[in-house]
């Protein structure tokens, strides 16, 4: 069947109209930096302090693009009479990114966590020789390595973190002064002093208690000097059954 004249033009215009109404997905790079996933493989960073020059990464690299040079150093014994030890010192660590195929094997096999992926990818060069990054440049890439993602809730604490936390707690316990305890000589002085009831001062214990009757003081039942108890004669006053001086004169 022969096509209808102008149908092709109508189809093309329909596609144009449909696309015009959709939101644009064009990334405006380099004006806008792309949002890369956390495990993006941009460039490899070297954390030199962790590297023991074991050469595993260089041996396992399928492209043979990792170059390591080192020499041995003798370390004196830690204690007198101990044995001298030798250790490898890193002289050169370089990765040729013109050969690297970003397989990540070197990072996987490193037993000391000295290599990391960084999402940085803007290191194109006009000279291919400049794509061999030496240890100083690899170290700078380390500062662009993102922090590892958070652990799942309830996950076991990593061994490295647990060991670091225990060491920090031990150090803090050593630096904290002991709880306030009385000084030894204060304790000895306290032991020499006679025990007295709690809350009573020395003055209180040496003095008679206010409630305790003194030998020369009248008791609570005895009248005070100048006072008379009802029914009891005052000293010097005649009693009712004793005759008064007038009665004696009448007799």
Binding site for [4Fe-4S] cluster, by residue number, is: 51, 54, 57, 61, 100, 103, 106, 110
Residues 165-194 that bind ligand SF4 (CB under 6 A): none
- Using CB under 6 A as the binding rule, whether residue 102 contacts ligand SF4 is answered as yes
Q: Contact with ligand SF4 (CB under 6 A): which of 106, 118, 133, 145?
A: 106
Candidates 63-71, 72-80, 125-133, 163-171: pick the segment binding ligand SF4 (CB under 6 A).
Answer: 63-71
Candidates 8-16, 17-25, 51-59, 210-218: pick the segment binding ligand SF4 (CB under 6 A).
Answer: 51-59
- Using CB under 6 A as the binding rule, whether residue 115 contacts ligand SF4 is answered as yes
CB 40 → ligand SF4: shortest distance, Å? 13
- Using CB under 6 A as the binding rule, whether residue 103 contacts ligand SF4 is answered as yes
Q: Of 97 and 179, which CB lies nearer to ligand SF4 in the complex structure?
A: 97
- Using CB under 6 A as the binding rule, whether residue 112 contacts ligand SF4 is answered as yes
Kindly determine how many residues on this chain lie close enough to bind ligand SF4 according to the rule CB under 6 A. Answer: 25
Q: Contact with ligand SF4 (CB under 6 A): which of 55, 151, 161, 164?
A: 55
One-letter-per-residue 3-state SS of the chain: CCCCCCHHHHHHHHHHHHHHCCCCCCCCCCCCCCCCCCCCCCEEEECHHHCCCCCHHHHHCCCCCEEEEEEEEEECCCCCCCCCEEEEEEEEEEEECCCCCCCCHHHHHCCCCCEEEECCCCCCCCCHHHHEECHHHHHHHHCCCCCCCCCCCCCCCCHHHHHHHHHHHHHHHHHCCCCCCCCHHHHHHHHHCCCCCCCCCHHHHHCCCCCCCCCCCCCCCCCCCCCCCCCCCCCCCCCCCCCCHHHHHHC
Binding stretches for ligand SF4 (CB under 6 A): 51-57, 61-63, 65-66, 68, 95, 100-106, 110, 112, 114-115
């Amino acid at each position: 069947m022969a096509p209808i004249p102008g149908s092709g033009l109508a189809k093309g215009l329909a596609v144009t109209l449909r696309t015009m109404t959709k939101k644009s997905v064009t990334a405006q790079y380099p004006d806008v930096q792309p949002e890369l996933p956390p495990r993006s493989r941009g460039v490899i960073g070297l954390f030199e302090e962790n590297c023991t020059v074991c050469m595993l990464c260089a041996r396992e690299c399928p492209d043979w693009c990792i170059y390591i040079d080192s020499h041995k150093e003798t370390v004196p014994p830690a204690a007198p009479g101990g044995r001298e030890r030798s250790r490898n010192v890193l002289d050169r660590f370089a990765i040729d990114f013109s050969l690297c195929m970003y397989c990540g094997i070197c990072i996987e096999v490193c037993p000391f966590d000295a290599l990391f992926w960084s999402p940085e990818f803007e290191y194109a060069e006009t000279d291919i020789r400049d794509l061999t990054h030496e240890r100083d440049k690899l170290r700078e890439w380390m500062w662009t390595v993102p922090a590892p993602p958070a652990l799942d809730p309830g996950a076991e604490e990593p061994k490295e973190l647990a060991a670091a936390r225990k060491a920090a707690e031990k150090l803090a316990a050593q630096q904290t002064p002991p709880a306030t305890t009385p000084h030894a000589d204060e304790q000895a002085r306290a032991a020499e002093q006679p025990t007295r009831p709690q809350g009573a001062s020395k003055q209180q214990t040496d003095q008679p208690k206010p409630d305790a009757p003194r030998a020369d003081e009248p008791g609570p039942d005895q009248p005070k000097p100048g006072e008379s108890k009802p029914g009891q004669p005052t000293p010097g006053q005649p009693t009712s059954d004793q005759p008064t001086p007038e009665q004696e004169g009448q007799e």
